[in-house]
Amino acid sequence: MVNWTMLPHMSALWKKILSEFKPGKDEKRKVLFFDLADPAKRIDADLLAALKIIGEFQQYHDVILGLNESEALHVAKVLRLKKFPRSQKGYAALAGAIREKLVLHTVVVHPMEFACGADAEGEAFVTGPYTAKPKITTGAGDHFNAGFLIGRLLGLSLAHSLQLAVANSGFYVRHAQSPNREQLVRFLQTL
């Protein structure tokens, strides 16, 4: 579920989904991914309400909240979390603090140079294949999210899912196109 910022009634839609589409007793938990898309464009009260609703989905599903660096810092401010150092370990701890505060399955934070996250198994971080001369940057976060979700759906660990995410995004910004499977494998081998 993406682009909450630009869709003013998305929180109401989420509430409706929660009330009308509850899984059956024997139904397997689904993975739900949320990307707020620059929550700084909305007022803090709206963001807090949206985060609360996202947390309500965790009762029935495994919720992943994906945040770029500025989104993570804004969410942390609104949740009144302490400041964390801008480092891989610091932002992994930030992901853990957001995850704990919202009681979510997984939180991922991805600055340009690295990526980190936290789930029930703990915190993880990986160095990204940063390039100072990208061919394109619009869509890099979407490619990161896609790589991460594929990793999770394949049953990869948090660290391996993060590695797949930074590789997918890294290939995209260098070539201005999405990688196919073979291209992604070759790119991963160069990291």
pLDDT at position 54 is 97
Residue 170 to residue 176: CA distance in whole angstroms: 10
Instruction: Quote the tokens at residue 165.
Output: 């995410």
CB–CB of 15/28 below 8 Å?
A: no
Q: What global pTM score does this model have?
A: 0.95
Q: In what order do the strands lie in the sheet with 106-110?
A: 31-35, 62-68, 106-110, 114-119, 122-127
Q: Could you list the pLDDT tens digit for every one of the 191 residues in the chain?
A: 899 999 989 999 999 999 988 888 888 999 999 999 999 999 999 999 999 999 999 999 999 999 999 999 999 999 999 999 999 999 999 999 999 999 999 999 999 999 999 999 999 999 999 999 999 999 999 999 999 999 999 999 999 999 999 999 999 999 999 999 999 999 999 88
Q: Where are the alpha helices (DSSP H) in the chain?
A: 10-20, 44-57, 69-78, 88-102, 140-153, 158-175, 181-190
pLDDT of residue 35: 95
Q: Which pLDDT belongs to residue 111? A: 96
Rounded to whole angstroms, what are the CA distances from 16 to 11, 21, 22, 56, 57?
Answer: 9, 8, 11, 12, 12
CA-atom Rg of the chain in angstroms: 16
pLDDT recorded at residue 24: 83
